[in-house]
Amino acid sequence: RVVGSSGTSKENKFEKTYPTVVGYARDAIVDGVLPSQDKIFFGDDAVKFRSYLELKKPLSHGQVSDIAAAKGFFTYIRNQITQDTDNEVCVVLGVPSSTDEKAHDTLKNIATGIFDRMLLIPTPFLAALGFRDESKLNNSDYTDPIKHSLFVDIGAGSTDLCLIKGYYPKQEDQNNLRNAGDQIDSVFADSIQRQYPDTKLSITKVREIKEQCAYVGELQNGVMTKVLVNGKPKNIDVGSLVGNACNQYLSELINTTVQLVTRVHSDSVEQILQNIVICGGGSQISNIAPEVQRLLLEQGYEYPKVTTVGKNYQNLVALGAWKVARSTPSEKWQHL
Ligand SMILES: Nc1ncnc2c1ncn2[C@@H]1O[C@H](COP(=O)(O)OP(=O)(O)OP(=O)(O)O)[C@@H](O)[C@H]1O
Ligand SMILES: [Mg+2]
């Protein structure tokens, strides 16, 4: 997701987010079905007209997986910000934790010719900056997320973990799990197919059901959802199926979290364990914070405290990117 902004206003000028997706018109599409003669649609339009398009994600598992789609998406975003070529357009790109030089070079090559300057910043750090409420920094009871925290960003293709210690994170402050929401969808879809072989649900429909009823912890039965089987509505119980898919992912998440916590210096580990914050779409999984907390306790950690960023998770990375852009002096940006 991105935020676009133009002009030189001093305030946080948060304008719009766009889902990172590109849709290519299917062959032999009849005139007038799509809103224009365009063969490629981006962001919300790609989602809206998805039944007539082949959707491609420029990123998968947090890495660029389709260079042409990524280039098209960058160009689209650049044109949303301004069509004017007199001004420089600077871009802050959130990169998953632990991406290597090669991945950075790929992004740089794609952005060259589209944007003028660039910064690459780990996404969980951007989320932490976005979550930070500067107006409360003088309140004694406010915990500044930038000082000592562990941010866990559960996205679609990857989970990014980052220790936040008051400065820009280094490689060793980060850990990454190449699984997240997409993997839950795939495990959930397989189990629905096994238990209810007559249902032929698309992965989009499976994701939609997951987003309505995902949870972790003790399995719940009787979570009913209506699906169409041969065109007829049928109620199926997905309670234990969605719970199992989410719990399976959670055990991988705990392993990745423990690996990172092991690297924390003993002077700050207590404070960091007190401030574990889950963000990204996966933070909306019901009961996730209490369950992560319970599992960390079970692993022997003392007083872990886990929270989520709440309902407003979608804009945090973009808002953090905006704050970085405002505060970075011009000589620190990479020229493209
Ligand atoms: N209510 C919900 N319950 C469970 N999962 C949800 C919910 N809402 C969104 N998600 C999942 O969160 C994921 C998307 O999260 P997010 O928007 O943070 O991803 P992203 O930043 O686009 O992806 P990535 O970080 O992997 O590039 C999807 O798998 C989506 O299904
Ligand atoms: Mg993300």
Domain ranges of the chain: 129-177+265-314, 181-244
The answer, yes or no, to whether residue 10 has pLDDT greater than 60, is: no
5 contacts 13 by C-beta, under 8 angstroms: yes
pLDDT of res. 93? 92
Residue 7 Cα, ligand 1 centroid: separation in angstroms?
31
pLDDT tens-digit map of 62-79: 789 999 999 999 999 999
Q: Which fold has domain 181-244?
A: Nucleotidyltransferase; domain 5 (3.30.420)
Question: How far, in Å, CA of 124 to CA of 107, rounded?
Answer: 18
Q: Where are the alpha helices (DSSP H) in 49-180?
A: 67-81, 101-111, 123-131
**Closest residue by Cα to residue 104 from 5, 4, 195, 171:** 171
* Ligand 1: residue whose CA is nearest its atom 20: 155
Q: Which ligand is nearest to the CA of 94?
A: 2
Residue ID of nearest Cα to ligand 1 atom 27: 62
pLDDT of residue 274: 95
CATH (residue range 129-177+265-314): 3.30.420.40
CA 143 to ligand 1 center in whole angstroms: 26
pLDDT number for residue 20: 87
Q: Where are the beta strands (DSSP E) in the chain?
A: 22-25, 40-42, 53-56, 59-60, 63-64, 90-95, 117-122, 149-154, 159-164, 174-177, 224-229, 232-237, 276-279, 306-308, 334-335
Identify which of 329, 333, 327, 320 has the alpha carbon closest to the alpha carbon of residue 14. 320
Task: Please tell me the predicted confidence (pLDDT) of residue 257.
Answer: 97
Task: Tell me, using a 6 A CB cutoff, whether residue 58 lines ligand 1.
Answer: no
Ligand nearest to the CA of 62: 1
d(CA 41, CA 54): 10
- Return the structure tokens found at 237: 């119980």
Instruction: Please tell me if the CB atom of residue 94 comes closer than 6 angstroms to any atom of ligand 1.
Output: no
Q: Could you report the per-residue pLDDT of 163-189, keeping only the tens digit for each?
A: 999 999 988 999 999 899 999 999 999
Please report, as a single letter, which amino acid is at residue 89. V
221 CA from centroid of ligand 2 (Å): 31
pLDDT of the residue at 285: 98
How distant, in Å, are the alpha carbons of 177, 250, 287, 292 from that of 255?
10, 9, 18, 11
Contact call for residues 260 and 273 (beta carbons, < 8 A): no
> Is 181-244 the same fold as 129-177+265-314?
yes
Q: Express each pLDDT in 229-269 by its tens digit.
A: 888 999 999 999 999 999 999 999 999 999 999 999 888 99
151 CA → ligand 2 middle, Å: 12
